[in-house]
Every structure is written in C-alpha cells, then in structure tokens.
Structure 1
Amino acid sequence: MIKGLYEGHLPVSDLDRSIRFYENLGLEFACRGEGRAFLWIEKGKSWLGLWDCEQVKIPYHVSIRHVAFQIDLADMEKAKEWLKEKGIEVVDFYDFEPARQPLVLPHYPQAHAAIYFEDPDGNLLEFIAPVELDVEKYFDMMKLDDWYTERGNPGKNQD
C-alpha cells in the first residue's frame, strides 16, 4: 500500500528567504498560501512544506526540524564542494566535524553516506545515499573514504 514518502514539513521564520534557500538547493517552487509554501523535491512525487510559524523557535531535535534528501552515491563525493559553491556550510554531526564528512552511518542493517548542513533557521538538513544493504556486522561511524578503503576500494566510488 505505502509507496514512499510524499511530503515533509519544516517551520521557518522568513518564508521568502527560505524559498530562495531551497530553490538554491534545486527544489522547484510549487505553490504558496497564507504563511506556507511548497517546493517539489521530485515533481509529482514528493515535496517540502515550509511554514512561517512560531514552532521555528523550538530547539532542534532529530525527531523534529530535520529532513534528509536522498542523492546518488556518486554525487556524495562532490556534495560538500557543491554546497560550498552555494554558500552553505557543512555542520558538525555527533562530533563528526565537517572536515571528516561525508561520513558513513552505521544504521545496521544498511549503511548510508551522509553530509549535514542547516537551512537559515537551523533546521538540520542531510544529503544521504545508500552505500550497502544487508551489512553483515555493526561498525563505527567513519569517513566515506575510510569505508571504501576498509572494503578494498581505495579510490572513490566508481559508479
């Protein structure tokens, strides 16, 4: 029955500024109403709702004010530079400083590569790419380059 995630929502303090920020990430403006706007993540498949509201003052927690955008693993290696070109800084995540990202998350039984950054209101955003399904053992969070080396592929992703 469920086929995927259609929408996510974030609180913002300045709707115009937030629309520009997310368009800069490549999302396509869909529509706007009183105190809210929607941008396509993947047109006709998923979108992000932005709400100009007081909840933007709620301190960040991963269970709220967080969205992860899936990208291809091949794009992960250039994502940090792509964000920098757009004036967006990679942020510290669980003491994994920006210099060590992209990182590989130990979400047993699947491994994901990820980079973390914030929107203008401090909502935590993530680029995430599946690396390996059915990982056979638990592992510690590590740099993506270390993941490749540990698996006998000292170079970057070959896809």
Structure 2
Amino acid sequence: MIKGIFEAHLPVKKLGNSIKFYQKLGLKLAWSDEETAFFWIEEGRSWLGLWEGEEYKTSYHPSLKHIAFRVAYEDLKKSISWLESIEVDAVPFGSRTSIDPFVRPYQGNASVYFEDPDGNSLELMCYIEVPNELKHITEKLSLEDWEELIVNSNFNKEGKP
C-alpha cells in the first residue's frame, strides 16, 4: 500500500529567505504563493512544503521540525565540503561534538546534520548494509571508524563490500 512519502512540511519565518536557502541545496521550486512554497525533493514523487507564519517559533522537536534527505553513501562522505561550498554550516547531532558524518550500525544508516535559516533540523542520510555481527553496536561511529570496522570484520573477509 504505502510506497514512500509524498510530502513533508516545515514552518518558516520569511518565505523569500527560505526559498533562496532551499534552492541553494539544489531543490527545484515547484510552486509558491505569498505564504507557501513547495520544492521537489524527487520531481514527480515527493516534495517539501514551506509555510510562512508564527509557527516557526515552535520549539524544536524532531517530530515537528525535522526532515532527512536521502543521499548516497559516497555523497555523504563529501557532505561537509559540499555544505561548506554552499555556505551552510553542519551542526553536531544530539550530544555529539563533531559535525562530521556518523554511522548508526544498529539502525543501518549514516547521517550529517545542518539547519535551515529558521532552525529546522535538516539531515543528509543514507542506508548502509550492516553485517549481522555488527548490528548490536549502539554507539554512533565516525565514517572512518565504521569503514575500518568493516574492513576488519568477517563481512569483508567473505568478499562482500
């Protein structure tokens, strides 16, 4: 039945500023009026709605003000330099102090975080294949630590990526 997400929405203070920001991320403006803008995340498949209004003042909570964009693993590895090239600062996630991408083996994904001009939490995220013997790891690992762990695991010794 469910095939994916069609749309998600975020509150913004000044729509014009937000339109420029999301265009800088490479998203294509699909439609806008004085208070609303929609950007294609995957053209014809999913989009992001931005709504100008006082709701941008709502305190952050991931269930209210967060979007994760799917990227390829190789792109995630280059994400910090890409963000810097478009003058966007990465931010640490949770209690982490590093802004660098990290892996959650127990969830099978890797991420880097940044914010839009209104403090909405944005994430670049990819799926990763995790060998069964590593799925118990609940700590967040740097990409370097993850890749070293994979190289030294039975997963790699079996000839898999």
**TM score, norm. by length of structure 2:** 0.88
1:11–1:134 Cα change, 3 Å:
farther
Partner of 1:151: 150
Counterpart position of 1:94:
94
Q: Mark the CA change 1:145 to 1:63 in structure 2 (over 3 Å): closer, same or farther.
A: same
Aligned equivalents of 1:6, 1:97: Cα separation in 2 = 33
Q: Aligned partners of 1:17, 1:10: CA distance in 2, in Å?
A: 14
2: distance between equivalents of 1:132 and 1:113?
Answer: 10
Distance in 2 separating the partners of 1:98 and 1:45? 33
Distance 1:124 1:133, change over 3 A: same
In structure 2, distance between residues paired with 1:39 and 1:72: 20
Cα drift, residue 126 of structure 1: 0.1
For 1:78-157, list aligned pairs within 5 A.
78-99=78-99, 101-106=100-105, 108=106, 110-132=107-129, 135-136=132-133, 137-139=135-137, 140-152=139-151
Counterpart of 1:12 in structure 2 is 12
1:22-101 matches, cutoff 5 A: 22-99=22-99, 101=100
The one-character-per-residue Cα deviations of 1:3-48 (angstroms, maximum 9, x if unpaired) are: 1001110000000100110010010000012411101011100100
**Count of aligned pairs between the two proteins:** 151
Q: In percent, how many aligned pairs have the same letter?
A: 45
Q: How far 1:63 sits from its partner (Å)? A: 1.0
| Preserved CA contact (<8 Å) 1:90 1:98 | no
Superposed CA deviations along residues 110-137 of structure 1, whole A, max 9, x for unmatched, are: 3111000000000000000111257553
1:142 maps to amino acid: L
Distance 2:71 2:65 in 1: 20
Q: Within 2, Cα distance between the matches of 1:105 and 1:64?
A: 22
SS of aligned partner of 1:63? coil
Unmatched runs of 5 consecutive residues or more in structure 2:
153-160
| Structure 1 CA distance for aligned equivalents of residues 131 and 4 of structure 2 | 20
SS at match of 1:97: coil
Following the alignment from structure 1 to structure 2, what is the Cα–Cα distance between the partners of residues 112 and 144? 11
How well do the aligned residues superpose, as a CA RMSD in angstroms? 1.6
Displacement of 1:97 in angstroms is 2.4
Once the two structures are TM-superposed, the CA of residue 98 in structure 1 deviates from its matched residue by 3.4
